[in-house]
């Protein structure tokens, strides 16, 4: 479709195309119509786009088929016109309503793509309004494709948030991570948390630390704790030295009491990220290796961090046993008896052969 259209051409093509979208229920046919609508709206002048805006918004508001909503949203995305606040709300509200009511994965995927298409037209306030229903659906959805689309929509919305709005969104996101039992959903929520942290000032990131540490202390599920360890890593670079030290103690304790090698590895990564290059950094890493006394991915991560500051340490190729023997000779006071970090969850006790850290 070369060049810009005349008003007559735009009108002749546009009105019947909208009618067909409103009347069509087949998802594949709607996909083709969406592409046609995008191509058409992209060729419109600003004046033509302004005239096309109200009919598209009315159709979105009236459409009950999520695939039709997606087609219309993609057409709206291509319009070379900026929406007013009421117009953006008119487009957003039916999409959010259907997201909240839909359990069908295919429909949910279509609505998530519709929201992603709308994101660039929204204000920060409207993007903030969309976060809660999205977070709930990410936590509840078991279909990986639908969850991926929802997460992509969430990331698109995060880009529209102000620093204050991003900060406000952290608490419900942390609660959702702690409550979600599906592993993939937790990973998606952790990705969303990292995207939000990128919007924060250092001061706002510091304010996010306390609720994150509280959630860690209240969580017992190993998979949820892995996601929270990821969240703590995301905050690490924005914390003060005192806050990083506080958080590193939590990470060390969580590492010692981790329920799986995978969880332990995430806490080891968080600990390395949190320990500033202070005089006791290597000692803290050695202590983390000492209890519990078992090799695994977490031990290798900690050893790699120690080697970075110790050219005399055995190379990785020498094996874990050689590295542990070197640690025992280099840091004998830290390892005899091995220190046991105080557990965060109730009902756990350090064994008698260890000394409990405060």
39-66 per-position pLDDT tens digit: 777 777 777 777 777 888 887 777 778 8
Instruction: Enter the pTM of the model.
Output: 0.67
CA 31 to chain centre: 28
| Residues 44, 5 contacting (CB under 8 angstroms) | yes
Task: Quickly state the pLDDT bin for 1 (edges 50, 70, 90).
Answer: very low
Q: 5-40 burial, b if ≥16 CB within 10 A, otherwise e?
A: beeeebeebbeebbebbbebeebeebeebbebbbeb
Separation of alpha carbons 126 and 157, rounded Å: 9
- Write the DSSP symbol of residue 121: G
Query: Across the strands, what pairs with 339?
Result: 355
Task: Quickly state the pLDDT bin for 301 (edges 50, 70, 90).
Answer: very high
Cα angle value 269/194/272 (rounded, 5°) = 15
Question: What number is the average pLDDT over the span 212-239?
Answer: 88
Taking 90 as the threshold, does the pLDDT of residue 71 lie above it?
A: no
Cα angle value 234/236/237 (rounded, 5°) = 95
| Residues 141, 185 contacting (CB under 8 angstroms) | yes
| Residues 225, 263 contacting (CB under 8 angstroms) | yes
pLDDT of residue 2: 44
């Amino acid at each position: 479709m070369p060049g810009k259209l005349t008003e007559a051409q735009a009108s002749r093509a546009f009105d019947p195309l909208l009618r067909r979208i409103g009347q069509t229920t087949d998802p594949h046919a709607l996909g083709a119509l969406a592409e046609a609508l995008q191509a058409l709206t992209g060729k419109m002048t600003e004046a033509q786009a302004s005239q096309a805006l109200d009919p598209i918004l009315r159709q979105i508001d009236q459409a009950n088929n999520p695939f039709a909503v997606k087609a219309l949203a993609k057409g709206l995305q291509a319009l070379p016109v900026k929406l007013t606040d009421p117009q953006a709300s008119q487009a957003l509200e039916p999409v959010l309503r259907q997201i909240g009511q839909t359990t069908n994965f295919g429909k949910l995927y279509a609505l998530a793509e519709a929201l992603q298409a709308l994101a660039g037209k929204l204000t920060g306030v409207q993007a903030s309004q969309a976060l809660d229903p999205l977070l709930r659906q990410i936590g509840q959805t078991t279909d990986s494709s639908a969850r991926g689309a929802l997460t992509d929509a969430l990331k698109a919305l995060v880009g529209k948030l102000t620093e204050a709005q991003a900060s406000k969104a952290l608490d419900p996101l942390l609660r959702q991570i702690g409550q979600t039992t599906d592993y993939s959903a937790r990973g998606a929520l952790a990705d969303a948390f990292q995207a939000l942290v990128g919007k924060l000032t250092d001061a706002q990131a510091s304010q996010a630390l306390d609720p994150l540490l509280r959630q860690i202390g209240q969580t017992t599920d190993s998979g949820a704790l892995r996601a929270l360890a990821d969240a703590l890593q995301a905050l690490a670079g924005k914390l003060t030295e005192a806050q990083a030290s506080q958080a590193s103690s939590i990470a060390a304790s969580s590492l010692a009491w981790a329920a799986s090698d995978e969880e332990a590895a995430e806490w080891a990564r968080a600990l390395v990220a949190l320990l500033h290059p202070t005089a006791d950094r290597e000692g803290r890493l050695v202590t983390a290796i000492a209890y519990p006394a078992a090799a695994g991915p977490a031990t290798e991560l900690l050893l790699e961090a120690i080697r970075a500051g110790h050219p005399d340490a055995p190379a990785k190729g020498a094996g874990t046993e050689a590295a542990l023997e070197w640690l025992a000779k280099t840091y004998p006071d830290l390892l005899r008896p091995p220190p046991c970090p105080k557990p965060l969850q109730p009902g756990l006790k350090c064994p008698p052969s260890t000394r409990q850290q405060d």
